[in-house]
Structure 1
Amino acid sequence: MATIQYIVSASEKKELVHIDTYSATKKDLQCLLESSMYLSDAASTTSHNIFLLLQCCLTLYNFVLQVINAYIRILKAQPSIQARQDGDAYLETTYFSTMIRDDSTTKLRDQNEKSFRVVRTLTYLQHDMVLDSMGSSSRRPELDQLLKGLHNRINHLAYLKMKTQTKWKDVKLKEWRVVECINRRMQTDGSSCGLFVLKFMKLWAGSRLSSIFTQKDMTNFRLKLAVTLVDYPWNKVKGSPGYKSTDVDEAIEK
C-alpha cells in the first residue's frame, strides 16, 4: 500500500515510470487506480495454429499505450513468460504491431537485410507463437490489415533472396483460418479490456490459458500493475518505497 500512496500523493505531471522508451506520469497511471477508467473498449482472442494474435482495440489513449507497453517490456525479458506449454512465445508491443499493419510492399522496398523490419520478422519466424497487443473490432479489419502487413514482410524476405527457417507450419498468411479459442465471455465491464489483453499475453499457453482468471481479478491486477511498474528495478525513476536496487543490472531486451 505504501507504493500506491506514493503514486496517489504525486502531482499529476510527475514522472513515476521510465522503462526503456516508455514513461508514465501520475496522470498516466491514474487509469490503474480507478476501476471505471478503461484501457480499451473491446477485446477478443483469435489464433491460427502457430501464430496467435491477442487483440486490443487501437482506440487506446496514448497514456494507456505507454502503460501497456512498459509492462510488455517487463514480460518480454522473463524466460518463464517466453517458454509456454505449446512452444516459445514472442510478445510484441502496440507500437511495433501498428508498424506491421502499415507495412506495404512500397514501404518495404528500401529495407535491406540489416534493417529493423527484416530482422524483427526473422525473429517472429523463430518463435512458435507471437502474442500481439494490437487488435480489431468484431469485423477484424485491423487484424486483416496486420496479417497483410506481415505477409508483405515475409514476401520481402523472399525478394531479398534470404535463406530463412521458421518454426511455423507455413507462411501462407492469406490462407490462415481464424479460430476462436475462447467461446465464452470473460469480461463483463467496459473498462478493463487492456488488462485482459495483458493477462492473455502472460498466460496463453498456445491452446489454452495456463491459469484461469475472471473479471473479479481485474481490480487487484490494476493495483498490482501500477505497483509493478513503479517498483520495478528497470524503472529509471527512483524513490518509490517499494523499489529495491539490484547488484546486477538487468539488460532490457531490444
Structure 2
Amino acid sequence: MESRRRPSTAESDPSTYDYLPQDYVLTNQDATAQDIILVSSENETVVSMGGFSVKKHHLSCLLSKNEWVNDDVISAYIHCIKEAQSKTDKKVYYENPFLIAMLQRDAVYIQGVQKHLDIITRRQDLPSHEWIDLNVVTWPIIEQLQVKIQLDGSSCGLFMLKFMEFFTGDKFSHPVTQKDIELFRYKLAGILLCWKTNMAAEASDVEQVEDTDNEDDVVIVGSRQRERWDMKESKVHSATNDHKYSSLLSVVSAMSLQELIGGLFQYIQQINCAETLENIWVQSSRPHTIKLSLKTLQSVLNDGPLDRNCFNMAIRKFMYENVQSLHKTSEAITKHCLDLQFWTATGFGISPMFHKDIDLAGSVGSWSKIHHEVAKCKSILIPVCAVGSYILVILDQESRTLYLLDPNPLNPIYENNPTMRYTKKLLNITNYFNRAMCVACPGSRWTEDIDLWRHIYVTNPVADSNLSGCLVHLFMRSWKDGALHLPSFKDVDELRKQFLLHLLMYEQNECASNVPSGARDFLHCIANAKH
C-alpha cells in the first residue's frame, strides 16, 4: 500500500482527515479532539461511521498508555483504512475484530477460518474467485518479524492496526517501533473524531485554527448544536505555542512523575497575560464560595506568605477526600479540621467595627455535603493566621490536651519567655471555641473549658515564616494519634509545588474547564502516574 499524504486539492477540508497521516505530531484539531473525549459524557457517541458507534468510554483508552485498545476503536480505524484504500487496490481486504470472536468460538483462528471456508465451498452458488487453494491450514507460515518490537503489555491492538495499514500483501511498507505506537495512540483519537465520514462530527464539528505564537489562543469546539456543547462547558482552551504544544500529550505521557510536576509548573509560570491571570482556575461554592485566580495560584510558587483563600481551599479539599475515603471503608471519622473561617470569626487583632459577619457556630460545624458528627471526633484542628504567619492548635479530647505546633522562627522579643507569644491567641481561641461548641455540639465534652487542659508546645522553626502556611497544611494532613507523620520533601520548592498540585487536582473544582488544555493534559498524566 502506497504512502498516504494530505491531498493538496482545494476541495480538501482542513478540519477533517480524508487520509491516514504517516507522522504522529498532534495538530490543534487532534488536541481539541482529545479534549472533546475528556468532557463528553461516558455513554455519548463521539464516533459513528461504517455502522460502528464508538462512545466516550470506548475512546478513553487512547488517553492512557497503559490500557488495551477497545475493539470498537479498532473497528472504527479499520473502517478508515478501508475508505483510504485506493478504489483500484483490491489486493488486501480488511475485516473487523468482531469476526474473530466467531472464529475463536468455532476453533482456534486458522482452524476457524478453515471451517468456515469449508462451509462456503460446499455451496452450489459459490461465486467465481481466484483462490486456487482454499485449504489454508496447509499454507506455509512466514514470520515477518524476527525480533520483538512491542515493549509493553497494552499496545498489541495498535501494532495490529499499523500492520494492517502497512501490509502490502507480502511485506510492510513502513517500519513500526514502540515509540511510533506510543505517539500513534494519541494521534488516533484525532483521526477518528475528525475523520471525513464521522457522522457524530456533524453535531460537534472541530474548527481548525492557525498556529500562532500567542499562548492564549483558544480552539473552539464548533457545533450545529452549540447550546448543547455550551451546557457541557466544552469550550476548549488550547495553547498553540510550538514550544509547548506541538505534541504535548505524546510528550508528557512518557515523562516521570517528577518531570510531569516540573513541566506543569513551568507551564503555569510562563503565563503572563494580564487578562488570563485574572481567570478563575479553581472554585468551590460549599460551604462558602472560594475563588482562586491563576494569579493567586501562581503566588503559591513565589516567596511571599500563603494566600488565605488558597489555604482554606486546600483544607476543604483534604476534608472532603478524607471523609469520603473513610465513608467507603465505614471507618469512624476521628479528626475534624477547621479552615481559617473560625479564626477570622473571632476577630483577633481587629477593631469590632471591622469584624466580618461570620456564623461562629457554623465555622466549627461539619463541612457541607460531608456528613459526620463533629461531637464524636477525637480531635479538632484549628489553624491560625496572623500577619501572614500560620500556626496550628490541636485539641485532643481523649487526653484533654491542647497541642500548639509552630513552624515559625522565634521573634527575639520572646527569647526569655517563648510561650508568651501564644497567650493572647490561645485565650481568644478558647473563649470563642467554647461559645461556638455550646451551639454546634450542646451537651458534648467539647463544651468543657479547654483552658484547663494540658498544653504542649511543639516548635520546629524554619528559616522563612512565609513557608508556615504550607507547613501547617502539611501538619493538618499528617496529624494522627497524637503525633505528626510527615512525608519527606526535598526542598522548599517541592513543598510549594506539592501544595499547589493539591489545589489543582481538586475533584470538586467548579471551574476545571477554565484551566487550559495544556495544563489539563499534565494533570491527567500526573493523576495516572500517581495511580
- TM-score normalized with structure 1 length: 0.62
Per-residue CA deviation, residues 6-25 of structure 1 (Å, 9 max, x unaligned), is: 22222323221122332222
- Retained in 2: the 8 A contact 1:6–1:241? no
Task: Please state how far the C-alpha of 1:187 moved relative to its aligned partner.
Answer: 0.7
- Retained in 2: the 8 A contact 1:3–1:242? no
Task: Please state how far the C-alpha of 1:217 moved relative to its aligned partner.
Answer: 1.0
Distance in 2 (CA, whole Å) between partners of 1:158 and 1:192 is 37
User: Which position in structure 1 is the counterpart of 2:64?
Assistant: 34
- Picking from 15, 39, 50, the partner of 2:45 is 15
- 1:163/1:68 CA distance change after superposition, 3 Å: closer
Please state whether the residue corresponding to 2:133 is helix, strand or coil: coil
- Picking from 152, 171, 196, the partner of 1:208 is 171
Task: Please state how far the C-alpha of 1:93 moved relative to its aligned partner.
Answer: 0.5
Distance in 1 (CA, whole Å) between partners of 2:85 and 2:160 is 19
- Retained in 2: the 8 A contact 1:187–1:193? yes
- 1:12/1:181 CA distance change after superposition, 3 Å: same
Q: Which has the larger radius of gyration?
A: 2
Task: Please state how far the C-alpha of 1:33 moved relative to its aligned partner.
Answer: 0.9
Task: Please state how far the C-alpha of 1:233 moved relative to its aligned partner.
Answer: 2.5
- 2:111 equivalent to 1:148: yes
- Picking from 159, 164, 177, the partner of 2:122 is 159
- 1:14/1:155 CA distance change after superposition, 3 Å: closer
Distance in 2 (CA, whole Å) between partners of 1:181 and 1:11 is 41
- Retained in 1: the 8 A contact 2:91–2:169? no
User: Which position in structure 2 is the counterpart of 1:194?
Assistant: 157
- 1:15/1:207 CA distance change after superposition, 3 Å: same
Distance in 2 (CA, whole Å) between partners of 1:67 and 1:192 is 13
Distance in 1 (CA, whole Å) between partners of 2:111 and 2:104 is 7
User: Which position in structure 1 is the counterpart of 2:84?
Assistant: 78
Name whichever of 234-243 and 177-186 sits farther off: 234-243
- 2:109 equivalent to 1:179: no
User: Which position in structure 2 is the counterpart of 1:49?
Assistant: none
Task: Please state how far the C-alpha of 1:165 moved relative to its aligned partner.
Answer: 3.9
Distance in 2 (CA, whole Å) between partners of 1:153 and 1:181 is 26
Distance in 2 (CA, whole Å) between partners of 1:35 and 1:81 is 34
User: Which position in structure 2 is the counterpart of 1:92?
Assistant: 95
- CA RMSD, aligned part only? 2.7
Task: Please state how far the C-alpha of 1:32 moved relative to its aligned partner.
Answer: 0.4
- Retained in 2: the 8 A contact 1:231–1:242? no
- 1:18/1:169 CA distance change after superposition, 3 Å: same
- Retained in 2: the 8 A contact 1:101–1:150? no
Task: Please state how far the C-alpha of 1:188 moved relative to its aligned partner.
Answer: 0.6
Task: Please state how far the C-alpha of 1:34 moved relative to its aligned partner.
Answer: 1.1
User: Which position in structure 1 is the counterpart of 2:284?
Assistant: none
Per-residue CA deviation, residues 155-206 of structure 1 (Å, 9 max, x unaligned), is: 3344223455433352122322322121111111111110000000000122
Letter of the structure 2 residue corresponding to residue 209 of structure 1: F
Identity of aligned residues (%): 29
Please state whether the residue corresponding to 2:48 is helix, strand or coil: strand
Letter of the structure 1 residue corresponding to residue 85 of structure 2: P
Name whichever of 197-206 and 30-39 sits farther off: 30-39
- 1:196/1:82 CA distance change after superposition, 3 Å: farther
Distance in 1 (CA, whole Å) between partners of 2:88 and 2:37 is 30
Please state whether the residue corresponding to 1:89 is helix, strand or coil: coil
Task: Please state how far the C-alpha of 1:67 moved relative to its aligned partner.
Answer: 0.7
Letter of the structure 2 residue corresponding to residue 224 of structure 1: K
Letter of the structure 1 residue corresponding to residue 72 of structure 2: Q
Please state whether the residue corresponding to 2:92 is helix, strand or coil: strand
- Retained in 1: the 8 A contact 2:82–2:94? yes
Matched length = 178
Task: Please state how far the C-alpha of 1:102 moved relative to its aligned partner.
Answer: 4.2
Task: Please state how far the C-alpha of 1:66 moved relative to its aligned partner.
Answer: 0.7
- Retained in 1: the 8 A contact 2:59–2:189? yes
User: Which position in structure 2 is the counterpart of 1:69?
Assistant: 75
Distance in 1 (CA, whole Å) between partners of 2:196 and 2:50 is 12
Letter of the structure 2 residue corresponding to residue 9 of structure 1: V
- TM-score normalized with structure 2 length: 0.31
- 2:189 equivalent to 1:226: yes
User: Which position in structure 2 is the counterpart of 1:119?
Assistant: none
> How is 1:240-251 mapped onto 2 (pairs within 5 angstroms)?
240-242=205-207
Distance in 2 (CA, whole Å) between partners of 1:76 and 1:195 is 16
Which protein, 1 or 2, shows the higher relative CO under an 8 Å CA cutoff with sep ≥ 6?
Answer: 1
- Retained in 2: the 8 A contact 1:71–1:229? yes
Letter of the structure 2 residue corresponding to residue 175 of structure 1: T
- 1:146/1:18 CA distance change after superposition, 3 Å: same
- Retained in 2: the 8 A contact 1:3–1:240? no
Distance in 2 (CA, whole Å) between partners of 1:206 and 1:157 is 23
Distance in 2 (CA, whole Å) between partners of 1:14 and 1:225 is 18
Task: Please state how far the C-alpha of 1:82 moved relative to its aligned partner.
Answer: 8.0
Structure 2: stretches of 5+ with no match in the other structure: 1-30, 209-221, 223-531
Distance in 1 (CA, whole Å) between partners of 2:148 and 2:88 is 26
